[in-house]
């Protein structure tokens, strides 16, 4: 998948291109990521990209002109790379909140152009003319759109076909089927007086599957009850839950 990121701080994206699953995907050319610095498209000796807001008030606003030129350049690069479906995505606290379903839908595009704002955001007219989608990573404010862009990139890249080994597998993650993940254990058998649950060492695959499902279901009920309401139970899972209920009382 092809990505262009419009950012005043291109070096930050080495976090994506150099490390972990996303770094490996970039090295294997499953991911092509280009950063475009709007400062390279700014005019004058000082190459300013920010200005004081009309109407006054604190902080600065990113100017439309250098961002428009940067986005046009990104679209040219996308075309040269043979990428047709490449929406412009703006990371902002005013956007729709990202979730696993939205991430799944991003994976279907040929590429993304991701716009990172700094200061108090960008001139609204740039958004009107050039932005296709506005997304947020949650209800809090950061100093720039770069970290949110990296969150989006990581979540999309790990879902690309072949980005993860069969052992890792995005299919198994929390949220993918709507429930939270189960507890995980590894060596040693006993850590500071806490034992690994016996069933996980039994080698009985059906019992392990049952235990893991009941753990996930209980955790989700405790921590995120609103997620359980949307979860569709299979016959097997209904049976497991019923048995548990009757053995408790
Ligand atoms: N919650 C998010 C995105 C960006 C950001 C910015 C307007 C501020 C948080 C546009 C105001 C961008 C988020 C930069 N903070 N800060 O996804």
Residues 103, 155 contacting (CB under 8 angstroms): yes
What is residue 249's predicted lDDT score, i.e. its pLDDT?
60
pLDDT-derived band at 15, boundaries 50, 70, 90: very high
Closest atom of ligand 1 relative to the 151 alpha carbon? 17
pTM, to two decimals: 0.97
Mean pLDDT, residues 14-40: 98
Q: Which of 95, 230, 97 is nearest to 175 (CA)?
A: 230
Please give the mean pLDDT across all residues of the chain.
96
Mean pLDDT, residues 53-60: 97
Does a cis peptide bond (omega within 30 degrees of 0) precede residue 200?
A: no
What is residue 118's predicted lDDT score, i.e. its pLDDT?
92
What is residue 176's predicted lDDT score, i.e. its pLDDT?
78
Beta bridge partners of 61: 51
Mean pLDDT, residues 185-203: 98
Q: Pick the catalytic residue from 50, 118, 123, 158.
A: 158
Residues 42, 72 contacting (CB under 8 angstroms): no
Look up 173 and say whether it is catalytic. Answer: yes
Q: Which of 218, 211, 156, 141 is nearest to 30 (CA)?
A: 156
Look up 120 and say whether it is catalytic. Answer: yes
Q: Is the distance from the beta carbon of residue 91 to the nearest atom of ligand 1 less than 6 Å?
A: yes
Q: Is the pLDDT of residue 172 over 80?
A: no
From 148, 150, 153, 155, the mutation candidate for ligand 1 (largest count of ligand atoms within 8 A of CB) is 148
Q: Is the pLDDT of residue 244 over 70?
A: yes
What is residue 167's predicted lDDT score, i.e. its pLDDT?
84
CA 126 to ligand 1 center in whole angstroms: 16
Q: Quote the Cα angle for 228-229-234, to 5°.
A: 75
CA 95 to ligand 1 center in whole angstroms: 9
DSSP characters over 116-167: E-BTT-B-HHHHHHH-SEEEESSSS--SBSHHHHHHHHHHHHTTSTTSS-TT
Predicted confidence (pLDDT) per residue in 81-92, tens digit: 999 999 999 999
């Amino acid at each position: 998948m092809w990505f262009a990121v419009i950012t005043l701080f291109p070096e930050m994206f080495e976090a994506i291109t150099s490390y972990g699953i996303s770094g490996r995907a970039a090295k294997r050319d499953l991911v092509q990521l280009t950063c475009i610095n709007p400062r390279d498209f700014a005019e004058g000796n000082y190459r300013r990209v920010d200005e004081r807001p009309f109407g006054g008030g604190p902080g600065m606003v990113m100017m439309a002109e250098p961002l428009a030129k940067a986005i046009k350049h990104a679209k040219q690069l996308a075309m040269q790379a043979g990428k047709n479906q490449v929406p412009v995505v703006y990371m902002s606290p005013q956007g729709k909140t990202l979730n696993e379903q939205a991430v799944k839908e991003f994976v279907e595009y040929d590429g993304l152009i991701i716009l990172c704002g700094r200061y108090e955001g960008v001139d609204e007219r740039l958004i009107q003319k050039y932005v296709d989608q506005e997304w947020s990573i949650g209800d809090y404010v950061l100093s720039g759109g770069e970290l949110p862009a990296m969150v989006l990139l990581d979540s999309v890249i790990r879902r690309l076909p072949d980005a993860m080994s069969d052992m890792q597998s995005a299919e198994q993650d929390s949220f993918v089927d709507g429930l939270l993940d189960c507890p995980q254990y590894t060596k040693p058998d006993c850590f500071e007086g806490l034992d690994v649950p016996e069933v996980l060492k039994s080698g009985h695959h059906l019992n392990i599957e049952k235990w893991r499902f009941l753990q996930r279901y209980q955790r989700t009920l405790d921590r995120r009850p609103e997620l359980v309401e949307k979860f569709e139970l299979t016959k097997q899972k209904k049976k497991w839950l019923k048995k548990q209920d009757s053995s408790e009382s």
